[in-house]
Amino acid sequence: MSDSHAHAHPPYQRHHFETYEQQKEATTFAMWLFLLTEIMFFGGLFTAYLIYRNWYYPAFVAASHQLDIILGGINTLLLITSSFTMAMGVWCAETRKKSGLVLSLVLTLILGIGFLGIKTVEYKEKFEKHHVPGHTFSVQSFIDPAHDEATLKAVKQGEPMPDPMPLDMARKTEMYFSLYFAMTGMHALHMVIGIGILGFLIVRAQQGAYTTGHVTMIENFGLYWHFVDIVWIFLFPLLYLISRH
């Protein structure tokens, strides 16, 4: 060790950093860069969505009406709340409140699992109605809206009865559902990974690993969790909302 190491290191400082400040800046910077790669990753999907929505507008509007806006809304609320509990977790780590940190992380975990649960219900409905792309896909709901449950429900709430779609445009709804499953599926995959990491963090937080002044791990995971939220904040209006007037 050279003389620049006159003061003692905190135990969580890695040996190749000169100061803890440097370590903190480096790891946080790395996390932001990683989120940048995530933006590029989802960017490809959003590009595809924008192009095809422009090409097959009527099909996208009709298919969008098949989504349950209530379930989507609840899920949005769950995620925003989970971002709040995550932010509380970061604050607890910074102010060295161990039980508060563990509680926040557990709440975040529960809300995340709740989101995935509701998503599963939504996916199940798509399976039952043959709205999953592939050889079982059916355009029945769009060429015969008078016998479609979701459409009838909307009509009861005061929306006008849509005209049956011509078959060639109705078939383009498969593109909408392709993108729906690819985008929400990739988002859900990120949630699953996040929940896995949360489980690990809860165990370590219980042992007191993050309430000693070493907050970067919690902070960086918080960044990831908020990012996954923000992706949903874009997905929800694009897939559920903007086609309804």
Partner 1 sequence: MSTDTIVKLPDQATARMPKVSYLNKEHGILSWLLTGDHKRIAMLYLISLTFFFFIGGAMAGLIRLELLTPQSDLMAMDTYNKVFTMHGVIMIFFFLVPSVPATLGNFLIPMMIGAKDLALPKINLLSWYLYMAGGALALYAMITGGVDTGWTFTTPLSTHYVNTNVITTGLAAFIAGFSSIFTGLNFIVTIHRMRAPGMTWFRLPLYVWSHYAASVLMVLGTPVVAIAIVLVALERTIGIGVFDPTKGGDPLLFQHLFWFYSHPAVYIMILPGMGVVSEVVSTFSRKRVFGYTAVAFSSVAIAIFGFFVWAHHMYIMGLSNYSALLFSLLTMLVAVPSAIKIFNWAFTLYKGSITFETPMLYAFGFMGLFTIGGLTGVFLGVSGTDIHLTETYFIVAHFHFVMVGGMLMAFLAGIHFWWPKMTGRMYPEKISQLAAVTTFIGFNFTFFPQFMLGMLGMPRRYASYPAEFQILNVFSTAGASVLGVGYLLPVLYLVWSLKYGAIAGNNPWQATGLEWQTQSPPLTENFEKLPIVDHDAYDYEWLERQNQIQASEVSSVR
Binding residues for partner 1 (CB under 8 A): 2-4, 14-18, 22, 25-27, 29-30, 33-34, 36-38, 40-45, 47-48, 51-52, 55-56, 132-135, 171-172, 174-175, 178-179, 181-182, 186
Q: Which is nearer to partner 1, 84 or 181 (CB)?
A: 181
- Residue pair 148/140 in contact (Cβ under 8 Å)? The answer is yes
The residues, any chain, with a CB within 8 Å of residue 102's CB and separated by 6 or more, are: 202, 205, 206
Residue 10 to residue 152: CA distance in whole angstroms: 64
Q: Which is nearer to partner 1, 176 or 232 (CB)?
A: 176
Length of the chain: 245
Q: Please state the closest distance from residue 205 (CB atom) to partner 1, in A.
A: 20
Q: Please state the closest distance from residue 84 (CB atom) to partner 1, in A.
A: 28
Residue 120 to residue 209: CA distance in whole angstroms: 34
What secondary structure does DSSP assign to 9-50, as a single string? PPTTS-TT-SSHHHHHHHHHHHHHHHHHHHHHHHHHHHHHHH
Q: Which is nearer to partner 1, 39 or 80 (CB)?
A: 39
Q: Please state the closest distance from residue 47 (CB atom) to partner 1, in A.
A: 8
Q: How many CA atoms lie less than 13 Å away from 242 in the CB half-sphere?
A: 14
Q: Please state the closest distance from residue 172 (CB atom) to partner 1, in A.
A: 5
Place of tokens 């563990």: 102
Q: Which is nearer to partner 1, 95 or 200 (CB)?
A: 200
Q: Which is nearer to partner 1, 92 or 183 (CB)?
A: 183
> How many CB atoms are located within 10 Å of the residue 37 CB?
8
Q: Please state the closest distance from residue 231 (CB atom) to partner 1, in A.
A: 13
- Residue pair 99/207 in contact (Cβ under 8 Å)? The answer is no
Q: Which is nearer to partner 1, 18 or 144 (CB)?
A: 18
> How many CB atoms are located within 10 Å of the residue 124 CB?
10
Q: Please state the closest distance from residue 138 (CB atom) to partner 1, in A.
A: 13
